[in-house]
């Protein structure tokens, strides 16, 4: 009797073939692709909005007026993202603004409070995609103005601000997002879906009454659970590997592929265990599915209590900043997954098949 002749492997094969027959696994991949596309759309869209440089934005023409015009002009001259245009007063600048000759107007006034605070009135276009770009660029510029003004008052301050390192404009602003949001999202989705299919697979047998047919075969409930669980757990790391490959092709380097696969497998085990337990407990898809989503979401939230959230673990592994603690968390997840699986088997052993 070979190692793979045990009935649980037939169950596993049946599970996987039913998945591929229904072509739902393709749909699952397509969905994940949509999510990936959606996220990258968001990434590109958001960063383009927040960072004019990444959108290849042009120089901003800014009308400058008011008492502090000279200082404002001096600072603007040193910046290559701003083209200053002096105006005799704010009204003239506003006039140019309305004709669309300048993108924004900055008027400086020295207030007569003790500190002689400089008040800058900034007018930018409303209701326009450009607004975000303009405000972002202006903020950098105004911060530079503030720095100079602050230096003039330095003797009144006990803290000396640290000078900003030079802006190289090289760092991609969505680098961090890719690793902290996108990759965890892509890697956690397969386990989530696996658990959900496990719920379906078990409740469908229970609701249709086909589990009784399986009982005629020389199978225990544990065998059925094993077969279903292993099949569903198995497909999660495969999808994860697919994603890692795809991301690498797209030039997003992913380190620690092995450890990441372990994490995905461990999480898939946990979700499948939760799914199957709920299915056996409630015996109805409606309840089991609802509980499953909520419980998994809840656990994901509660994982905040860990020193390092699993999403953070994944991010640090993928970006190659893993520490000893990170690997300890991988081991911890693995341990919890094994314990959970053993618990599921014990529970399944105790289930009276006649009452299912």
Partner 1 sequence: MKLAKILRIARWEVTKNAGGVDRRTLGVVVVALLLLLAVVPIVAFSGVGLDDNLYRVGVSEESEFAPVVAEDETFAVIEGATVDDLESERIDLYVEGNQVHRVQSDKGAAAYEELRDSVAAYNERNLRQEPNQSAAFPVEVIVSFEEQTGTSVVVGAPGGEEPLPDADQDEGEAESPVDDTDDGPPMDEDGDESPVDEEDVPDEESADDPSEEEPDDTGEETRTDETDDDTATGDADDEQEAADDPESDEDHDPADDPATADREDGDELTGPLADFLGPLSDDGMSGSPADITPPFPFQSLVLAFLFVLPLNFVIQAYGSTILSERINRRGELLLVTPVSRTEIIAGKTLPYLLGAMALQSLLAVGAVWLLRGEIGGFVSILALIPLVLLFLGSTFLGAMFARSFKELTFVTVTITVSLTSYAFIPAIFSDIDPIALISPLTLVVRDLQTESIALSEFLFSAGPPTLVALVFFSLGAGLYREEDMFDQRSMSGKVLDSLAGPISSKWHVGLVTMMLIPFVMVTQLVAVATFFALGELAILLLFIVVAVTEELAKTLHVYAAYEHNRFERTAGSAIVLGAISGTAFFLIEIAILVFQLLGFTELEIGEALLLFSGVITGPSELLLLIPPLLLHIITAVIGTLGAYRSKGAYIVAVSLAMLVHLVYNLSVVMLFV
Q: Which is nearer to partner 1, 37 or 338 (CB)?
A: 37
Among 315, 330, 337, 348, binds partner 1 (CB under 8 A): 315
Residue with tokens 């990441």, as numbered in its chain: 260
Q: Which is nearer to partner 1, 4 or 175 (CB)?
A: 175
Among 262, 264, 319, 344, binds partner 1 (CB under 8 A): 319
In terms of Cβ atoms closer than 10 Å to its own Cβ (0-12, 13-18, 19+), residue 195 is: buried
80 binds partner 1 (CB under 8 A): no
CB 101, min distance to partner 1, A = 9
Task: Name, in order, each residue with C-beta under 8 angstroms of 227's C-beta and a sequence gap of 6 or more.
Answer: 7, 8, 9, 10, 11, 12, 14, 15
Cα–Cα nearest to 299, from 330, 274, 334: 274
The window from 4-12, 146-154, 222-230, 241-249 that contacts partner 1 (CB under 8 A) reads 146-154
The window from 4-12, 236-244, 290-298, 340-348 that contacts partner 1 (CB under 8 A) reads 290-298
Q: Which is nearer to partner 1, 59 or 67 (CB)?
A: 67
Q: Contact, 85 vs 96, CB < 8 A?
A: yes
Alpha helices for 209-309 (secondary structure H): 211-216, 221-249, 257-282, 285-302
CA 264-269-274 angle, 5° bins:
125
176 binds partner 1 (CB under 8 A): yes
Among 6, 10, 35, 246, binds partner 1 (CB under 8 A): 35
Q: Which is nearer to partner 1, 240 or 322 (CB)?
A: 322
Tokens of 194: 């696996």
Among 240, 268, 291, 348, binds partner 1 (CB under 8 A): 291
């Amino acid at each position: 009797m070979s190692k793979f002749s045990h009935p649980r492997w037939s169950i596993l094969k049946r599970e996987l073939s039913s998945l591929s027959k229904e072509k739902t696994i393709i749909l699952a991949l397509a969905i994940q692709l949509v999510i990936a596309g959606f996220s990258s759309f968001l990434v590109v869209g958001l960063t383009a909005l927040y960072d004019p440089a990444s959108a290849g934005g042009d120089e901003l023409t800014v009308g400058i007026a008011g008492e502090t015009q000279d200082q404002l002009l001096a600072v603007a001259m040193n910046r290559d993202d701003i083209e200053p245009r002096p105006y005799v007063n704010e009204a003239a600048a506003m006039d140019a603004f309305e004709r669309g000759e300048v993108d924004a107007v900055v008027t400086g006034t020295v207030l007569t409070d003790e500190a002689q605070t400089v008040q800058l009135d900034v007018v930018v276009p409303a209701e326009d995609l450009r607004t975000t770009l303009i405000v972002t660029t202006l903020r950098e510029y105004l911060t530079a103005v503030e720095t100079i003004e602050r230096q003039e008052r330095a003797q009144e301050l006990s803290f000396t601000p640290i000078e900003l390192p030079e802006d190289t404009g090289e760092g991609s602003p969505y680098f961090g997002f890719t690793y902290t949001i996108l990759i965890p999202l892509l890697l956690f989705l397969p386990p989530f879906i696996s658990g959900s299919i496990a719920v379906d697979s078990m409740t469908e047998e229970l609701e249709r009454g086909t589990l009784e047919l399986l009982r005629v075969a020389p199978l225990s409930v544990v065998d059925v659970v094993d077969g279903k669980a292993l099949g569903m757990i198995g497909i999660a790391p495969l999808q994860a590997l697919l994603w890692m490959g795809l991301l690498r092709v797209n030039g997003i380097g992913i380190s620690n592929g092995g450890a990441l696969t372990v994490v995905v497998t461990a999480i898939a085990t946990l979700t499948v265990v939760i799914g199957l337990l709920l299915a056996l407990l409630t015996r109805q898809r409606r309840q089991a599915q609802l509980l499953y989503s909520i419980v998994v979401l809840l656990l994901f939230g509660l994982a905040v209590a860990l020193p390092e959230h699993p999403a953070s673990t994944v991010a640090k592994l993928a970006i190659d900043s893993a520490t000893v603690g990170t690997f300890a968390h991988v081991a911890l997840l693995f341990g919890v997954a094994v314990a959970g699986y053993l618990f599921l088997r014990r529970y399944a052993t105790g289930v009276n098949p006649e009452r299912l």
